[in-house]
Amino acid sequence: MENKVCLECGEAIKGRVDKKFCSDYCRNSFNNKVNTESKNLIRNTNNRLRKNYKILTELNATGKTKVTRSKLFDRGFDFHFFTSIYTTKTGNTYYYVYNQGYLALENDYYLLIKKE
């Protein structure tokens, strides 16, 4: 019979034949290390989306507002992060962060809208 060792700490494993870790602590520690890189990417992306949503919500209290690009930038808005794109029949492209959308207008203005 083969002596199995814990994948995290290297100690001998007692118990079931298919057991890979000596304790829940070692199992959790091992899995947290394995998934760290992808979790960081997801966490950072969600944080950027959350910040963009907050900015749009604060600036668009009435449901339809016109603001300048610099006003969005000054608050930390990142135009690379949005959840969906909607193009109208007339060719206008709205970018949405959940239910808050924005449309680029002339002279660095943006129309902010809220989808109900």
Rounded CA gap, 101 and 114, in Å? 6
Is the CB of residue 95 less than 8 Å from the CB of residue 113? no
pTM for this predicted structure: 0.72
Residue 98's nearest CA partner among 66, 51, 62, 61 is 51
Place of tokens 């950072």: 44
DSSP secondary structure code for residue 107 in this structure: T
> What's the pLDDT tens digit per position in 74-91?
999 999 999 999 999 999
Q: How are strands ordered across the β-sheet holding 109-114?
A: 64-68, 109-114, 100-104, 93-97, 84-87
Residue 27, CA distances (Å) to 3, 6, 14 in order: 18, 9, 14
pLDDT tens, residue by residue, 35-72: 777 788 899 999 999 999 999 999 999 999 999 999 99
Query: In whole angstroms, what is the distance from residue 110 CA to residue 51 CA?
Result: 18
